[in-house]
Structure 1
Amino acid sequence: MGKSRREFTPEFKDEAVKLVINTGRPVATVARELGINEASLGRWVLLFKARSDDNTAVVTESERSELARLRKENADLKLDRAFLKKASIFFAQEASDSNGKRSS
């Protein structure tokens, strides 16, 4: 008796392919870790690469670290902006309060 054929969801396939492409690890290693056939994962990777545009490049480690740095910087800038917005409202209220007191 032969084994029944396993079915994988498109989401599972995409995640497995991303493990190979984004980490740069060999197909055989990722396939072993996920408990799937190496040939199947290799085929998924080839299909993914064929679907993707030629302009789309694999993200390198330095690009990945720069992206993380930029995301952190963006979050910091958003916090700074929120603080400055609250401070400007506070000072605008202070100015309007002091203007009202002078004319009394």
Structure 2
Amino acid sequence: MKKQRRTFTTEFKYDAAALVLDQGYSVAQACRSLDVGESALRRWMKQLQSERGGVTPITHAMTPEQQKIQALEKQVKQLEQEKEILKKATALLMSDDWNRTR
């Protein structure tokens, strides 16, 4: 039987990494108390440290600031796509208008 892969919320990952980085727990202690693998916890710690350093991650952000940045980047991308669509629609309408007046 295949073992089910566990998933963790962003808040859980943040809290787990903060145990080691902010509260002085060792990695082994935190892994035992939270029942998570050491490699996963180290990965979350590395992500949290880089986010605190101002690096926006490719995956889901942990810190509220980085989450806000990701949401704003997504909104900018959507607005740029909408702007391109409007440019093309305007050009198409203008060319139809031009052809009718000839």
TM-score by length of 1: 0.50
Instruction: State the match for 1:68 in structure 2.
Output: 67
Instruction: State the match for 2:101 in structure 1.
Output: 102
Moved >4 Å (runs of 4+): 19-22
Deviations 1:34-90 (A, max 9, x none): 178xxxx6xx96xxxxxx9xxxx9243x98222111110010011101111111111
Instruction: State the match for 1:33 in structure 2.
Output: 34
Structure 1 gaps, min length 5: 1-18, 46-51
Q: Bigger CA drift: 64-73 or 93-102? A: 64-73
Percent sequence identity is 7
TM-score by length of 2: 0.51
**1:42-57 alignment to 2 at 5 Å?**
none
Matched residue type, 1:97: D
Q: Provide the C-alpha distance between the structure 1 equivalents of 2:73 and 2:93, rounded to a whole number of angstroms.
A: 30
Find the structure with the greater CA-based Rg: 1
Q: Provide the C-alpha distance between the structure 1 equivalents of 2:96 and 2:81, rounded to a whole number of angstroms.
A: 23
